[in-house]
Chain A
Amino acid sequence: EAGVTQFPSHSVIEKGQTVTLRCDPISGHDNLYWYRRVMGKEIKFLLHFVKESKQDESGMPNNRFLAERTGGTYSTLKVQPAELEDSGVYFCASSQEQGASGGNEQFFGPGTRLTVL
């Protein structure tokens, strides 16, 4: 079974440009998450999709970030315009529905390293 994939693996752009990150979750996983780690800091939650709906976007830094998940399959995270502080590693994760006994293991992709110059 293929894992979570992310594209690109690395992206270097200049301040003010636009970048779009893509995440393909594990097939059949309704839940899709975006996280970000800025160098030296903790991994931070950005948002959570359930199928195509945004369930929780409380972690999105500002309106320069736009996430979509058309058709409830892959997701994109667009940063427009990019700022220096947007540099970091962006992780995507997916999970299945779980029963009330716990679970919700999240499967992570390898991340996209974004560098804004």
Chain B
Amino acid sequence: LAKTTQPISMDSYEGQEVNITCSHNNIATNDYITWYQQFPSQGPRFIIQGYKTKVTNEVASLFIPADRKSSTLSLPRVSLSDTAVYYCLVGDTWAGNNRKLIWGLGTSLAVNP
């Protein structure tokens, strides 16, 4: 399973767009890129997943360049409630029955008024 590198922390202000980039140089052909969000005293929550190019849902967008060695989670117009830790995970979520998630320390995003 590929290791990921992302910034430890980021600061932003309400209404701004936030982009969190994750590096995964050793991503394998079958690997997907998944982002989770975690609020204090809660379990992680799935945000978005992609394999290549761009994926968008009601919460965020995920940009993946052609070489797939990095990915960027984009949060449009953040609010105070988006303050959380964001995790980038890379792995083959359909590797037979081996679907464990490998976690890094994540990016702690602080949204200020």
Contacts and interface: CB of A to CB of B under 8 A. Distances in A.
A100 B94 contact: yes
- The size bracket of the interface on A is 20 to 34
A63 to B, nearest CB: 20
A98 B32 CA distance: 13
A101 B51 CA distance: 10
Contact of B102 (A45, A98, A101): A45
Nearest to A3: B43
B81 interface: no
The 8 closest A-B pairs by CB, nearest first: A108-B43, A104-B93, A43-B103, A45-B100, A105-B46, A42-B103, A55-B97, A102-B32
Interface of A: 4, 31, 33, 35, 42-45, 48, 50, 55-56, 59, 91, 93, 95, 98-111
